[in-house]
A = this chain, B = another copy of it.
Amino acid sequence: MVRARSEERRAEILRAALEVIAERGYRGATLGSVAERVGLTQQGLLHYFPTKEALLVAVLQERDRWDTSGGRDRENWRLDLLESLVEYNAMRPGIVQTFSALLGESVTDEHPAREFFTERYGQVRSSMADVLRLEFGERLPSGLTPERAAPLLTAVLDGLQYQWLLDPSAVDMPDAFRDFLRLLRGDDSRP
């Protein structure tokens, strides 16, 4: 019973941490503000996560678990699933903001999330290549190999997120992503 309550608390804390990181980034986030959001003192929070970095690691791990659960294994993705993922993200600015902020911070030296993102982007590119191979075979209509198109696909996803976060009214993220897919498919029908 206590155990269950504890797990529940941890989940609450992680959700609060996600919010605070979205609002202020990891460096700008404080243990106190996360604690406050779940009705704890800062020291009470440290009972669950011994250091600030441990909390960040838990947030990243949860993201990984979420990403790779519920038939969302990256092996099984297809292009149209990616399309709906983008649509889904467009309805969840909070999550997108959290991880865009973390990605941005992580390129600075010795950032605790740097290794996580480095490794993760390697995996993402290779998943994207798989997706593309599944869809197009060894050559896309443009002549590109899946391995060469994968970084572009990944870049578009991230880059659109930043533009959309800065000004949601200026960029329709799902539409823009569909435009990119049209590019990949070599489809020249007029939108």
Contact = CB atoms under 8 A, between A and B. Distances in A.
A107 B154 CA distance: 19
Which secondary structure dominates chain A's binding surface?
helix
A187 B24 CA distance: 43
Interface residues of A, number: 60
Contacts of A104: 25, 100-107, 162
A191 interface: yes
A49 interface: no
Interface stretch (A10-18, A58-66, A70-78, A163-171): A163-171
Given A117-B166, A163-B121, A183 B25 contact: no
Contacts of A152: 156, 160, 176, 179-180, 183
A164 to B, nearest CB: 9
A141 B190 CA distance: 10
Interface string A141-159: 1111100110110111111
Contacts of A151: 160, 163, 171, 176
